Amino acid sequence: MESILDIRGLEKTYSGGVQALRGVDLAIRKGEIFALLGPNGAGKTTLIGAVCGLVRPTGGTMHAFGLDIAKHWKTARRRIGLVPQELSFDMFDTVIRQVRYSRGMFGCPPDEAKVEEILRSLSLWDKRDAQIRQLSGGMKRRVMIAKALSHDPELLFLDEPTAGVDVELRRDMWRQIDALRARGVTIILTTHYIEEAEEMADRVGVINAGEILLVDDKDAMMAQLGRTEAHFELAEAMAEVPTSLSAYPLHLEKDGQSLVYRGGDGTGKGKREIAELAQELTRQGIGFTGLDTRESTLEDIFVDLVHQREEEAA
Ligand SMILES: Nc1ncnc2c1ncn2[C@@H]1O[C@H](COP(=O)(O)OP(=O)(O)O)[C@@H](O)[C@H]1O
Ligand SMILES: [Mg+2]
């Protein structure tokens, strides 16, 4: 698979001493949607800033489109679009002027047909003469995307595109991003919303404290780490898990009132074991009054990964 972006050993220590990136390796495939998932302060914006020339790395190399970004920064940057985390524009300017202006900033000649196409694709054409300040938050974000697309980038970064956006607008944004991918744009988005990575991404990278913990196909990640959880609410509290049930991954919660299963591997094993376990409990005369089951989410996986790392480090 062809890499459109190849990052090796990327380091960033800010002047105050914060180590925001600690040897990041990342290869992005042409045409994919890659979600970089991590909590606040993980280093997502710093990583994007390094690729887009806003942050000067303190170590490592970056190649985009086969070009060494350090040596061919301008050429590479022209082929990259960035929708930054913070909204930033001249609030009194009009939508269409902002998009034209962005295009000019990248040294592209005026092209009204192109500008129209971008505005139409984001349902902004009717608003083209509106001042930015007159638009809703969701519309403002679309203008940010329109600006980032003004020079026809092949690689687009969206830094927390839906942070603080309500659910409906978020879905709308997801559709827009999907449409961009259909046009052949490679997309890297950062998010701390698990559903966003789950919904949008072909692959997911998990970043924490400046380190990439894992990169995998979204489905493979779910299968590898997917787990099932079941809570049996017991008719009578237990002091400990009976040895007759030691074959199952069980523990007690809520003062022995709840028998909890955590197991499975994403192949459906968890569900089978829970069904078996329910029969086994009945057979052994252990009554339960309720049963809750759920599949783990990327959020659980993320918490697990961070714990694993901490344990390894300890
Ligand atoms: N300009 C800066 N100067 C000093 N420290 C910074 C600067 N920008 C970010 N940091 C620090 O670097 C770390 C990573 O920040 P950031 O890349 O913004 O993370 P994220 O986007 O994942 O929330 C944080 O500890 C943050 O406080
Ligand atoms: Mg950020």
Domain boundaries, the chain: 3-223, 227-295
Residue from 188, 264, 187, 183 nearest 226 by CA = 264
Residue 262 has pLDDT above 90, yes or no: no
Average pLDDT of the segment spanning 249-256: 93
CATH, range 227-295: 3.30.70
Q: Compute φ and ψ for 129, nearest 5 degrees.
A: -100, 5
Q: Looking at ligand 1, which residue's alpha carbon is closest to its atom 9?
A: 46
pLDDT at position 176 = 86
Q: Looking at ligand 1, which residue's alpha carbon is closest to its atom 25?
A: 41
Query: Cα of 101 to ligand 2 centre, how many Å?
Result: 25
Average pLDDT of the segment spanning 171-186: 89
- Strands 33-37, 59-64: pairing kind: unpaired
Q: Looking at ligand 1, which residue's alpha carbon is closest to its atom 27?
A: 41
> What three-state secondary structure class fits 40?
coil
Ligand nearest the Cα of residue 43 is: 1
Q: Determine the Cα–Cα distance for residues 117 and 106; give it in Å rounded to an integer.
A: 18
Query: Cα of 154 to ligand 1 centre, how many Å?
Result: 26
The answer to whether residues 174 and 195 touch, using CB atoms and an 8 Å cutoff, is no
Reported as a single tens digit per residue, the pLDDT across 127-147 is 999 999 999 888 898 999 999
Give the DSSP letter string of 7-27. Answer: EEEEEEE-TTS-EEEEEEEEE
pLDDT at position 39 = 85
Reported as a single tens digit per residue, the pLDDT across 3-54 is 999 999 999 999 999 999 999 999 999 999 999 998 889 999 999 999 999 9
Ligand nearest the Cα of residue 38 is: 1
Beta bridge partners of 151: none
pLDDT at position 268 = 77
C-beta neighbour count of 29 within 10 angstroms: 15
Query: Cα of 40 to ligand 2 centre, how many Å?
Result: 6
Reported as a single tens digit per residue, the pLDDT across 90-119 is 889 999 999 999 999 998 999 999 999 999
Query: Cα of 191 to ligand 1 centre, how many Å?
Result: 15
Q: Which CATH architecture has domain 3-223?
A: 3-Layer(aba) Sandwich (3.40)
Residue 220 has pLDDT above 90, yes or no: no
Residues with CB under 6 A from ligand 1: 14, 16, 18, 20, 38, 40-46
Query: Cα of 189 to ligand 1 centre, how many Å?
Result: 17
Ligand nearest the Cα of residue 16 is: 1
- Closest approach atom of ligand 1 to CA 159: 21
Mean pLDDT of the chain: 90
pLDDT at position 19 = 97
Ligand nearest the Cα of residue 85 is: 2
Most confident listed range (67-81, 192-206, 296-310): 67-81
Residue 1 has pLDDT above 60, yes or no: no
Query: Cα of 9 to ligand 1 centre, how many Å?
Result: 18
Residue 61 has pLDDT above 90, yes or no: yes
Q: Looking at ligand 1, which residue's alpha carbon is closest to its atom 12?
A: 20
pLDDT at position 143 = 93
Q: Determine the Cα–Cα distance for residues 37 and 24; give it in Å rounded to an integer.
A: 14
